[in-house]
């Protein structure tokens, strides 16, 4: 084969590969959009496994069991003042923002309090659940403990939001 034939073959193969790469990228973008759309729906489903679905969420029997047996209750009790300080720094102006801030601080608890990571792992393993579930349960417990310290009442969570 001549050099010209090889160059033609390489050019054709490059075009074919490029065509399929573009199709793959477009499909990947659609999949990413679908996953992003499903993520909040799945979150609600797993939260309903450990808490009531009505507002304000409260732990159900399984959530209470996790709270007591995973060790998250003791961790939150021990770290309450530090966590309250972090949440107050975000300056929530309404109950919805306060609850959101509490959930975010608890989600990031391993970053805020690296000394409890091993306890979280042990508790999650013991209960056969993920650390995210333990932190979610802990966030409801913490919210119930500190909501009044933030100037809010749990009953306010049912009222319409006036965002920051």
**Distance (Å, whole) CA 115 – CA 94:** 31
Return the pLDDT at 21: 84
**Distance (Å, whole) CA 109 – CA 102:** 10
- Which residues is 59 bridged to in the sheet? 51
Q: For residue range 57-106, list pLDDT tens digits in order.
A: 889 999 999 999 999 999 999 999 999 999 999 999 999 999 999 999 99
**73, two tokens:** 């209750």
Closest CA to 66 of 123, 145, 142: 123
Residue 38 has pLDDT above 90, yes or no: no
Return the pLDDT at 164: 45
Closest CA to 133 of 106, 98, 101: 106
**Distance (Å, whole) CA 67 – CA 43:** 19
Return the pLDDT at 134: 96
Return the pLDDT at 87: 96
Polymer length in residues for the chain: 164
Most confident stretch, 19-28, 38-47, 79-88? 79-88
C-alpha dist (Å) from residue 72 to 65, 104, 111, 159: 11, 16, 15, 29
Residue 163 has pLDDT above 60, yes or no: no
Return the pLDDT at 84: 96
Residue 54 has pLDDT above 90, yes or no: no
54 against 109, higher pLDDT:
109
Closest CA to 65 of 10, 106, 126, 121: 126
pLDDT band at 143 (very low <50, low <70, confident <90, very high): very high
pLDDT (average), residues 105-131: 95
Return the pLDDT at 137: 95
163 against 134, higher pLDDT:
134
pLDDT (average), residues 37-54: 67
Contact assessment for residue 146 and residue 79, using Cβ atoms and an 8 Å cutoff: no
Averaged pLDDT score across all residues of the chain: 86
């Amino acid at each position: 084969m001549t050099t010209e034939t090889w160059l033609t073959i390489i050019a054709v193969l490059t075009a074919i590969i490029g065509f399929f790469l573009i199709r793959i990228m477009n499909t990947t973008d659609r999949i990413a959009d679908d996953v992003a759309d499903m993520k909040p729906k799945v979150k609600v489903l797993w939260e309903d496994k450990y808490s009531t679905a009505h507002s304000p969420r409260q732990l159900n029997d399984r959530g209470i069991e996790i709270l007591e047996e995973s060790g998250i209750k003791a961790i939150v009790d021990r770290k309450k003042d530090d966590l309250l300080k972090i949440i107050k720094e975000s300056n929530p102006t309404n109950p919805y923002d306060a609850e959101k801030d509490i959930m975010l601080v608890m989600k990031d608890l391993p970053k805020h309090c690296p000394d409890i990571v091993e306890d979280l792992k042990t508790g999650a393993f013991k209960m056969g659940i993920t650390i995210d579930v333990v932190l979610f349960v802990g966030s409801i417990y913490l919210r119930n403990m500190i909501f009044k310290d933030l100037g809010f009442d749990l009953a306010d969570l049912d009222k319409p939001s006036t965002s920051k």
